[in-house]
Structure formats: C-alpha cells, structure tokens
Chains A and B, each alone.
Chain A
Amino acid sequence: MGLSQRLVNWARIKSPWITLFNSGACNACDIEVIAALTPRFDVERFGILAQGSPRHADILIVTGPVTKKQAPRLRRIWEQMPEPKYVIAMGACGASGGVFRGLYHVVDGVENVIPVDVFVAGCPPRPDEIINAVVACLGLVKEDLAHGGKEWRQKKPTVIPRVETPPKEVTA
C-alpha cells in the first residue's frame, strides 16, 4: 500500500462525509439526522460532515421505505457515489417498509434497491443511535480496508416473504 493510499484511508476513517437521502420517509427520520448535526449532538467534533452532494460523500444515509418513484433515483444517487461507499438505512421503514410495508407505492426497504451495510432500528432512531451507526459503519470501513474490499462479508441475499393481507370488503 502506497503512502498516498494510506493517507487517504486514514482520512476516510477520521472524517467520514455523509449525505442524506429521503426516499419517501415521513420526515421524522430526516429531522433526527438534522438534530444530530445541531450543537447538542454536534457530530462534527467526530469529523462527521454532512455533505450536500453524493459525489463527495462516503456514507449515504437513506430514510424511508423507498417509494417506487424514488427507487430508480436512489439507485442513480448510489451509483454516483465514489467507491468505497457505505449505506446506512434508517428506521423501521428503511429496514422493512415499517408502517408503509405492503402499500402499493413502496418497494419495502432500502435493501431491495441498493446494498445496505448498517441498519438503524427505531421509528425514528435517536441522534445518538445515528452517531452510533456511523461509528459502526467506520468499523466496517476499517475491516474492509484490512480485507481489501467488501467481498469478504457478502452473503447470499435473503428475501423476506411478503405477507399479503386481503383488502377489507367495502360495505356501502
């Protein structure tokens, strides 16, 4: 590993840049991410910087159940990010669709569209948990750097069976 590469890796772990993408969330998750940037939680003291453009970011935080309209756009945003890129799916919605699961306009979870590295539980997760997730993600970055890529931890995708509930009869 050359010196410049070592320098880049060090910088990457010391100062992850995150970007937020709302893929159809109810907005509470987004507000919690914004709260994590406020002086009370102040993630910038850890070097975590919120970045406006996905092209400059290392970590993509996705909130919401991914509506069908947003799914191709989320995919494009993810493709625009430079490698190595990491994805944090936020909240119950990001993991499985949450309260929106099974609706006609959602694809039930971020992992149906892009690979996810870290899930954060909660509806919405607290800012502490978001910071924790970013730190956990940094642990992954470190291990990936040691293994020379993400391949070592790739598993076969598991598909969660979708429970079909028949719609209620309308009595007029």
Chain B
Amino acid sequence: MTEPALKPDAVQDALGDLGTVETVRWNRVKVSTKIEKVREAILRAQSLLACDHVVQISAVDNGKSFELIYHLTGPHRMVIALAIDIPRDKPEVPTTSDILPPAGIYERQIHDLLGIVFRGHPDLRRIILNEDWPANEFPLRKDWKMDPNKFYGGVPPEVK
C-alpha cells in the first residue's frame, strides 16, 4: 500500500474552514460541508488540491434528508468526498456542471431518480427513466409508492 501523495493535512488546510474534515480510509477524506459552500469547496479542491477528476456524484435518501456526495480525485489518487445534506422540503442545490463538466450528467440522473433540483443546470431532462414517466414521481425516494391508478409508461396500453 503506497502512501497517497496528498496528505490529509493538506485537505484540512485547503477545505478546513468550509466544513469538518475526517479521514475515512487511507486514501479517502470526507469533508462535510454546506449547500451554499459546495461550489467554493469544489473550486478550491480543483485549484489547491489538483482534483481534476470527478469519480461520481452519489445521492441517497436517508429518510430525513438527501445526502449528496461529490467524489473528486486527481493524479495523487486521493479521493476527496464533499458531502452535503439537503432538506427534503426544499431539495435545491446550485449546479456544478459549469465548473465540473462531467457532473452535468450525474445531476440529470439524480434529478431523475430523487428529484433534487440543480439550480442553473442547462438541461435537466430525463436520462434514466422512460420518456413517458409521470412528472413529480421519484422512485428512489424512500416514501415513494407506485400508484396503481397511474400509467408509468412502457408498454402501450392496448398490448397489456
């Protein structure tokens, strides 16, 4: 196991004032930050920590809120996870697709399945669900139930 070139202290120096920094594993640092600070955190990770690559953006509904995590990495192979908590009643986050171009497609996916709105995203269309899926139904939310009276798309009704 080689030591990553980026020390956790460097992350503490760069992002420490934006949230709590903890070392989860030898090559993974988690930074819990706030919705309004996440863009600043990504910009700093790009400029100060050489994070030029977004591994993925993960989102999960933990029952109380949505947890959104940006996993960033760079040539140093250290994964910086920027975690934010999004309230259920106002699931809105500023988009990061302008500073982190590959993020746009992850954001479309999260919007599709969990209904988190990425403010300022240029094109928040469906990507995973079928085109005739009803609006305002987000299947990965824990409180979502399939409504038997609704048509969720797929087979044309005359075949079924």
Contact = CB atoms under 8 A, between A and B. Distances in A.
Q: Is B a genuine binding partner of A? A: yes
Interface of A: 66-69, 71-72, 75, 104-105, 107, 112-113, 167, 170-172
A1 B6 CA distance: 79
Nearest to B64: A172
A68 B153 contact: yes
Contacts of B146: 104
A75 B64 CA distance: 41
Chain B interface mostly: loop
Contact of A172 (B62, B130, B160): B62
Contacts of A171: 63
B64 A113 contact: no
Given A68-B130, A69-B130, A104-B139, A112 B155 contact: yes
Interface residues of B, number: 19
A67 B43 CA distance: 39
B152 A104 contact: yes
Interface centre among B62, B130, B131, B152 (most CB of A within 10 A): B130
Contact of B159 (A68, A104, A113, A172): A113
B145 interface: yes
Chain A interface mostly: loop
Given A67-B130, A68-B154, A72-B156, 17 more contacts: A67-B154, A68-B133, A68-B152, A68-B153, A68-B155, A69-B129, A69-B130, A71-B155, A72-B155, A105-B129, A107-B154, A107-B155, A107-B160, A112-B155, A112-B159, A113-B159, A172-B62
B143 interface: yes
B142 interface: yes
Contacts of A68: 129-130, 133, 152-155
Contacts of B154: 66-69, 71-72, 107
14 contacts: A68-B129, A68-B130, A68-B152, A68-B154, A69-B131, A69-B153, A75-B156, A104-B139, A105-B139, A107-B154, A107-B155, A167-B142, A167-B145, A170-B143
